[in-house]
Amino acid sequence: MKDLKTIRGMPDLYDEDVERISIVENICLETFKSFNFQEFRTPIVENKTLFQRSVGESSDIIQKEVYEFEDRNGEILCLRPEGTAGLVRALITNGLMNDEIKKFFYLGPMFRYERPQKGRKRQFFQAGAELIGEESTKSDVEIILLAKTILEKLNVKYTLEINYLGKEDSLNSYRSYLRKYLQNFKDELSEKVYSRLQRNPIRAIDSKDSNIQEIFKKASDISDFLKKEEKESFERTIKSLKDLKIDFNLNKNLVRGLDYYTGTVFEFTVDGLGAQNAVIGGGRYDNLIKDLGGRDLPAIGFALGIDRLAEIINVTTRKKDIFIGSVDDDSINFAQYIGNKLRENIKGLVVENYLGNANVAKQLKKANSQGFKFAIIVGQEEQNTNSFKLKNLLDGSENTLNEIELVEFLNG
Ligand code: HAM
């Protein structure tokens, strides 16, 4: 039935897709917390003006990707396309603006009306981290270290690309320079493309279009427009990364697609995702909080594409611990008793109490195919003797254990 279709680019997620996404989410959560970042939850719906004033009127996101709608009160709202603007809005709304350094993280769905393809959806999930209130390169390094730690815990091979965009003055001079430079190519471009490039010439620098790449080949890059203190700041970041033995590529074309960036910008890219190879993007946004009406506080952060990463991680480890089957219906209560004893004694243990009617051989088959590490089958004999044959489903070995030994074994 046509009406019951999912929306393009917004797939239902189940089975292995959800498992992969949870693995990425859990590693993000664990790593954010280990760096002492605190969770922040903002609404999925915000006023569209928030993103016009932050992500930028001329950005692709505002030009063509926002899911917007008018509510019953005539307000123009939208589904959030990213998390930084909402978090900054929330800091201002809630008066969280003192001088203390603040470290927040968030996880959740974002929405962009882009052409769906591998690694790109219209509803996708991001995990983001924002470090507010520290201007020095120490915070650049802390944020990059956090991002890199997540990828390493996920066993993902990455490349870190890094660049430095100037503050407002330098960016404005660079923009004016590029607008003038582009005038030389006016005749070669259609009116539409020319006016798009004129509107946001910096963004066009990392265009995937080979004609546009050719045009920008001879243009100066942003580093020629940076002030002395900006160059020094970037050099300090580079030195710290080298001291910490963090490998990176300097990428002069890395300009990012959102307008709020000032200073250091970076992306982590991976193989195996085709054109959508950026799994993490971020940078410094020292003017955004002030521009949105808050205090003049510096900040840096990143967001990680959870679904994108979920597509490429290797899921080989068995996550489910023990399958408890039973010989017949009369043994199920005892199996449930044992299952709960194990759950009570071993934090986080994943225990399946099988409730169906399959025979023992089929139960063991199910345990295997569902990815359990161990299985026991409970019957009258196990109830009488309180001892169990623990089958290791990975190597086929067996161990006979009593209830206490079973807990100890699975706890080890
Ligand atoms: P972004 O580069 O637009 O930055 O998005 C960050 C990451 O989200 C991307 O590297 C990608 O992995 C994922 N992503 C973006 N769009 C899609 C999509 N359509 N489908 C799947 N994954 C996607 C931001 O959003 C900034 N708020 C990051 C930031 C935080 N900068 C400072 N603080």
Give the pLDDT score at 272. Answer: 85
Please check the confidence at residue 27 and state whether its pLDDT lies above 80.
Answer: yes
- Ligand 1 atom showing the smallest separation from residue 121 Cα: 20
Give the pLDDT score at 174. Answer: 95
Nearest CA owner, ligand 1 atom 18: 120
Determine whether the shortest distance from the Cβ of 282 to ligand 1 is under 6 A: yes
User: How does residue 318 score in pLDDT terms, banded at 50, 70 and 90?
Assistant: low
Q: What percent of the chain has pLDDT over 90?
A: 88
Please check the confidence at residue 385 and state whether its pLDDT lies above 70.
Answer: yes
Give the pLDDT score at 208. Answer: 84
**Residue 274 burial by CB count (10 A; 0-12/13-18/19+): exposed, middle or buried?**
exposed
Give 282-291 pLDDT, tens digit per residue: 999 999 999 9
Average pLDDT rounded to a whole number, residues 6-35? 95
Question: Is the Cβ–Cβ distance between 354 and 366 less than 8 Å?
Answer: yes
Give the pLDDT score at 317. Answer: 62
Amino acid at 217: K
Question: What's the pTM value of the predicted model, to 2 decimals?
Answer: 0.89
Give 203-233 pLDDT, tens digit per residue: 889 888 899 999 998 999 999 999 999 999 9
From 40, 54, 82, 125, mutation site for ligand 1 pocket: most ligand atoms within 8 A of C-beta: 82
Domain ranges of the chain: 16-167+227-312, 320-411
Give the pLDDT score at 273. Answer: 86
The residue among 142, 135, 101 whose CA lies nearest residue 287 is 135
CA of 133 to the centre of ligand 1 (A): 22
Give 253-300 pLDDT, tens digit per residue: 999 989 999 999 999 999 988 888 999 999 999 999 999 999 999 999
Please check the confidence at residue 2 and state whether its pLDDT lies above 80.
Answer: no
Strand partners, 69: 77
The residue among 225, 229, 216 whose CA lies nearest residue 173 is 225
Strand partners, 269: 159, 278
* C-alpha–C-alpha distance, residues 285 and 54, integer Å: 10
Q: Regarding predicted confidence, which is higher, 1 or 159?
A: 159
- Ligand 1 atom showing the smallest separation from residue 61 Cα: 3
User: How does residue 26 score in pLDDT terms, banded at 50, 70 and 90?
Assistant: very high
Give the pLDDT score at 316. Answer: 67
Give 51-68 pLDDT, tens digit per residue: 999 999 989 999 999 999
Average pLDDT rounded to a whole number, residues 331-353? 95
From 7, 17, 42, 110, mutation site for ligand 1 pocket: most ligand atoms within 8 A of C-beta: 110
Please check the confidence at residue 16 and state whether its pLDDT lies above 90.
Answer: no
CA of 59 to the centre of ligand 1 (A): 14
> In this structure, which topology does domain 320-411 adopt according to CATH?
Rossmann fold (3.40.50)
Q: Name the H helices within 126-225.
A: 137-153, 168-183, 191-199, 210-216
- Ligand 1 atom showing the smallest separation from residue 285 Cα: 32
> In this structure, which topology does domain 16-167+227-312 adopt according to CATH?
BirA Bifunctional Protein; domain 2 (3.30.930)
Q: Regarding predicted confidence, which is higher, 1 or 89?
A: 89
Return the structure tokens found at 304.
């990680």
3-state secondary structure 77-137: EEECCCCHHHHHHHHHHCCCCCCCCEEEEEEEEEECCCCCECCECCEEEEEEEEEECCCCH
CA distances from 16 to 73, 314, 315, 352 (A): 41, 12, 9, 18
Give the pLDDT score at 206. Answer: 85
User: How does residue 329 score in pLDDT terms, banded at 50, 70 and 90?
Assistant: very high
- Residue 309's H or E segment, with its range, is helix 306-312
* C-alpha–C-alpha distance, residues 142 and 131, integer Å: 9
Residue 311 CB neighbours (<10 A): 19
User: How does residue 1 score in pLDDT terms, banded at 50, 70 and 90?
Assistant: low
Determine whether the shortest distance from the Cβ of 310 to ligand 1 is under 6 A: no
DSSP 8-state secondary structure symbol assigned to residue 273:
S
* Helix/strand/coil percent split, the chain, to 5: 45, 20, 35
CA atoms within 13 A on the CB side of 327: 11
CA of 351 to the centre of ligand 1 (A): 36
Backbone angles phi, psi at 112, to 5 degrees: -140, 135
Give CA angle at 184 (181, 188), nearest 5°.
125
Give the list of residues 6+ apart from residue 28 with CB closer than 8 angstroms, or none. Answer: 105, 107, 127, 150, 304, 306
- Ligand 1 atom showing the smallest separation from residue 304 Cα: 7
In the predicted model, what is the mean pLDDT of the chain? Answer: 95
Give the pLDDT score at 368. Answer: 93
DSSP 8-state secondary structure symbol assigned to residue 46:
E
Q: What percent of the chain has pLDDT over 70?
A: 99
Please check the confidence at residue 409 and state whether its pLDDT lies above 70.
Answer: yes
Of the listed ranges 1-5, 21-25, 340-344, the one predicted with least confidence: 1-5
